[in-house]
Amino acid sequence: MTLKILVVPAHPGKGSFNHAIAETVRKTLEGAGHLVMFHNLYDERFPSHLSAEELLQDAVLPPVIEQHCIELSESDGIVVIHPNWWGQPPAILKGWVDRVFRPGVAYRFQENDSGEGVPTGLLRAHTAIVFNTSNTPPVREQEVFGDPLEIIWKNCIFDLCGVKVFFRKMFSVVVVSTLEQRKRWLEEVQEIVTRHFPPASSAGPSR
């Protein structure tokens, strides 16, 4: 079964390990026969500022935002790649979520709900994967910070928008990693992507 997979990396450094992850994800998916919708937010200079006019569900959207919304709603799976900056995604990626994970696209509230209730997810994507890089050792990340990225992506975004299969992998510590270690990490990226999005000729996606 051929899937439409949205892949969104967000790192300004062209030689970063994030870019290596993103290219591995793209090549793995394309090699498996899937359709990849790839958006490098920094290369595309994604306009991340949300205007007041866009807050309304029936707002007229700029063409670039409308296209991103269409691709998000049509995706069978989503892969996001970004560094851990202050326990958060980079601002450009946060802006992408603000503008693209819109009411009517990613979620809706029940009729007669004023917005105070729990939203109903609208995304058709069955699986989301998030790959992160960090220079914080895993033990310190858990004991001191509580791994905020897991809460942001799993609980606050994908689960509320209807994506029930979630997998996240943090690679660290990148700054002191060796070439061999990074090669092993990229092999792990390939294995994770293949496991969640099997080749188009196989039985179908994991659910």
Q: The dihedral of CA 122, 128, 133, 134: what is its sign?
A: positive
| Cα 119 to Cα 7: distance, rounded to the nearest angstrom | 24
CA distances from 125 to 4, 17, 74, 101, 129 (A): 9, 26, 8, 13, 11
Q: For residue 120, what are the contacts with CB-CB under 8 A and spacing of at least 6?
A: 107, 108, 109, 110, 162
Residues 194-203: tens digit of each pLDDT: 999 999 986 4
Residues 107-148: tens digit of each pLDDT: 998 877 766 778 899 999 999 999 999 987 777 777 777 789
DSSP structural state of residue 194: H
Residues 30-81: tens digit of each pLDDT: 999 999 999 999 999 999 999 999 998 899 999 999 999 999 999 999 999 9
Question: Could you tell me where the DSSP H helices lie in 4-133?
Answer: 17-31, 63-74, 91-100
**By 3-state DSSP, what share of the chain in percent is helix, strand and coil, each rounded to 5?**
40, 20, 45
Q: Is the pLDDT of residue 206 over 60?
A: no
Tell me the helices (H) and strands (E) count for the chain, helix number first: 6, 7
Q: Which candidate, 108, 132, 104, places its Cα nearest to that of 118?
A: 108
Amino acid at 56: L
Cis amide linkage into residue 173, ω under 30° from 0: yes
pTM score, two decimals?
Answer: 0.92
> Interhelix angle for 179-196 vs 17-31, to 10°?
40
CATH label, 4-196, candidates 3.10.150.10, 1.10.10.10, 1.20.1050.10, 3.40.50.360: 3.40.50.360
Are 197 and 31 in contact by the 8 Å Cβ rule? The answer is no
